[in-house]
C-alpha cells in the first residue's frame, strides 16, 4: 500500500474517534467520516508500518444511519466528530466503544447490562463553557475554533454544541475588543494582545462569566478594558463577572496563573439537581449541566448508600459530586489539586448548608496519606480523575484503604478499563453505565461501581 493509491473499501467497524476502520492487503486503514457498513472509495493519504489513513473520495454504499451535518464548517472544525451519524447510532457506537476497551482488558462485562448509552433528548446547544482562540492572520484579527489536528482557526457564525447565549456573547466580546484596537495573538511571533475569550454560563441561573486571556502583563492595567466592560454590561444584565487572565508563556494551555477581576462577582452560580454551585474561572464543572445530573444520579443510585458511610471524594473539583451525594452519607472528605476549586468547594458547602463534608487542596496521592494518618477510613471512595486516569500510587492507596465500595466516574473509557483491571483484584464490578455528556463528539462519560469481593453474601442467604 502506498500514499495516493485509491481503493474501494468496506468499513467493518468504527474506532475510538468514530473513524471508520477497513482492511486492505492485511493493513488496517482508518477512514475519518466513514460509518460501519459503508462501502467507500478511499485515497490513501498516510502510510505507517502497521496502518494507513485514507480520505473518502466517494461513498459507494451509504449507511442508513448517515445524516447531513447541520454545521456548515463541520468538515473543517475540530469540535465535533459525529454530526454525520444519527444520534441513536452515536449512542450505540459509544456503548460499543466502552464494551471493546473492557474486552481488551479481559474484564467480565456481565455488569455491563445497559442496552445503550444514556443520551440527551436534545443533543445540541448543551455546553455551558467555551473558549475561543483569537488570532492575528495577515493583519486581521479573527476568532473561531481550531481546525482538526491543527491550530488553524475556523471562523463560525453558530456552534451547534455551544449554548447559544455563549456563542452570541463571545461575538459581542470579540467585536468590542476590535473596536478598541486590541489585536489577536500571533503564534509565530508570540506577539499580540488577546489569546482567548472564555465564556461560562449557568444553564439554570442564566449568569454569565467572561474571561479575556491577554498576552502581556501591562494589559492587566489597560484602561481600554474598563471601556469594554461598560459596553458589555450595559447590553446584558446577566453578565455577573468579567476577568482578565494573563498567559504570556509559549504554551498550548489556555489560562495562565495570574488573573484579576475587573467587574462584578467572584464567581457565577448554577444548579445540578437541587444543589447550587459557585464556579470560578478555573473551576472544573461538567460542561453539560443537564447530563451531569443524570451522571450523578446514576452514581448515587448505583452506590446504594445507606446514610452511615464515610465517603472519600477524590479529584473533587468544586465538590459537585460529593455535595450531590451528601444527603446519603455520614461524612465526606474531598481532595482536589486546584486551590481555587477547593475554595469554591468550601463555598458550595456553605451555600447548600452541607455540614458533613471537608475539602482540602493537594495531590491525591499525597493527601490521601494525610487522611490515613488522621485515622479517617472510608467506607466508600468516589473518584473522578482526569483523562489519564488513576496513577499507580493512588490505586495502591485505594486498595489499601479497603473501602467497601468504589464509584469511578471516567471521561476516558480506555484508562477506566485499565484501572478497573487492577482494582478487580480486590473488587467485583457491579455496574458500568455510559452517559453521553458530549453529544455529536466521540467522547463519553462512564459511571462504574465496584464492590469489595469479601462483602458479597453467599447466594443461599
Q: C-alpha cell of 299?
A: 452514581
Cα–Cα distance measured from residue 332 to residue 324, given in angstroms and rounded to the nearest whole number: 11
What burial class does residue 334 get, using C-beta atoms within 10 Å of its C-beta: 0-12 exposed, 13-18 middle, 19+ buried?
A: buried
- The residue annotated as part of the active site, out of 71, 77, 278, 411, is 411
Rounded to 10 degrees, the C-alpha dihedral 188/209/79/146 comes to -10
- The alpha-carbon radius of gyration of the chain (Å, integer) is 24
Neighbours of 226 (CB within 10 A): 10
**80: annotated active-site residue:** no
CB 173 within 8 A of CB 214: no
DSSP state letters, 336-348: ES-HHHHHHHHHH
DSSP state letters, 192-205: -SEEEEEEEE-TTT
Helix (H/G/I), strand (E/B), else coil: 223 = coil
Q: C-alpha cell of 413?
A: 473509557
Rounded to a whole number of angstroms, the distance between the first and last alpha carbons of the chain is 62
**What order of strands is seen across the sheet that includes strand 6-10?**
6-10, 39-47, 51-61, 27-31, 20-24, 13-14
CB 431 within 8 A of CB 383: no
Number of alpha carbons in the 13 Å side-chain half-sphere of residue 156: 27
Characterize 109-131 residue by residue with b for buried, 16 or more Cβ atoms within 10 angstroms of its Cβ, and e for exposed: eebbeeebbbbbeebbbbbbbbb
Q: C-alpha cell of 156?
A: 463560525
List beta partners, residue 337: none
Active site residues: 411
Amino acid at each position: 500500500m502506498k500514499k495516493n493509491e485509491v481503493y474501494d473499501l468496506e468499513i467493518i467497524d468504527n474506532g475510538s474517534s468514530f473513524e471508520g476502520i477497513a482492511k486492505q492487503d492485511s493493513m488496517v486503514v482508518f477512514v475519518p467520516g466513514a460509518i460501519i457498513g459503508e462501502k467507500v472509495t478511499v485515497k490513501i493519504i498516510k502510510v505507517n508500518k502497521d496502518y494507513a489513513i485514507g480520505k473518502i473520495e466517494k461513498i459507494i454504499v451509504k449507511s442508513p444511519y448517515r445524516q447531513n451535518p447541520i454545521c456548515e464548517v463541520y468538515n473543517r472544525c475540530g469540535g465535533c466528530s459525529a454530526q454525520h451519524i444519527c444520534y441513536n447510532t452515536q449512542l450505540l457506537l459509544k456503548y460499543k466503544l466502552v464494551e471493546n476497551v473492557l474486552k481488551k482488558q479481559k474484564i467480565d462485562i456481565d455488569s455491563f447490562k445497559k442496552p445503550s448509552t444514556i443520551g440527551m433528548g436534545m443533543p445540541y446547544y448543551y455546553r455551558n463553557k467555551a473558549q475561543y482562540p483569537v488570532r492575528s492572520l495577515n493583519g486581521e484579527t479573527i476568532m473561531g475554533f481550531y481546525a482538526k489536528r491543527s491550530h488553524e482557526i475556523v471562523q463560525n457564525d453558530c456552534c451547534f454544541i455551544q449554548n447559544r447565549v455563549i456563542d452570541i456573547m463571545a461575538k459581542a466580546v470579540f467585536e468590542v475588543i476590535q473596536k478598541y484596537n486590541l489585536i489577536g495573538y500571533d503564534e509565530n511571533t508570540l506577539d499580540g494582545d488577546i489569546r482567548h475569550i472564555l465564556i461560562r454560563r449557568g444553564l439554570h441561573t442564566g449568569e454569565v462569566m467572561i474571561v479575556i486571556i491577554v498576552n502581556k502583563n501591562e494589559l492587566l492595567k489597560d484602561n481600554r478594558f474598563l471601556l469594554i466592560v461598560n459596553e458589555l454590561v450595559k447590553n446584558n444584565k446577566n453578565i455577573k463577572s468579567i476577568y482578565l487572565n494573563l498567559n504570556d508563556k509559549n504554551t498550548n494551555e489556555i489560562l495562565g496563573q495570574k488573573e484579576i477581576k475587573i467587574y462584578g462577582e467572584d464567581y457565577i452560580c448554577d444548579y445540578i439537581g437541587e444543589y447550587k454551585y459557585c464556579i470560578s474561572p478555573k473551576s472544573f464543572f461538567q460542561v453539560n449541566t443537564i447530563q451531569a445530573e443524570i451522571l450523578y444520579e446514576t452514581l448515587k443510585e448505583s452506590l446504594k448508600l445507606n446514610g452511615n458511610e464515610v465517603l472519600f471524594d477524590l479529584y473533587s473539583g468544586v465538590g459537585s459530586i460529593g455535595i450531590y451525594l451528601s444527603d446519603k452519607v455520614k461524612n465526606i472528605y474531598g481532595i482536589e489539586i486546584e486551590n481555587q476549586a477547593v475554595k469554591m468547594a468550601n463555598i458550595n458547602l456553605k451555600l447548600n448548608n452541607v455540614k458533613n463534608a471537608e475539602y482540602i487542596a493537594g495531590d491525591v496521592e499525597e493527601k490521601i496519606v494525610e487522611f490515613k494518618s488522621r485515622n479517617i477510613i472510608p467506607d466508600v471512595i468516589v473518584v473522578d480523575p482526569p483523562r489519564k486516569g488513576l496513577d499507580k500510587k493512588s490505586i495502591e492507596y485505594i486498595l489499601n484503604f479497603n473501602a467497601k465500595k468504589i464509584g469511578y466516574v471516567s471521561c476516558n473509557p480506555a484508562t477506566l478499563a485499565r484501572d478497573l483491571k487492577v482494582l478487580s483484584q480486590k473488587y467485583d464490578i457491579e455496574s458500568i453505565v455510559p452517559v453521553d455528556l458530549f453529544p455529536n463528539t466521540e467522547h463519553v462519560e462512564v459511571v462504574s461501581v465496584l464492590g469489595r469481593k469479601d462483602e458479597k453474601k453467599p447466594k443461599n442467604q
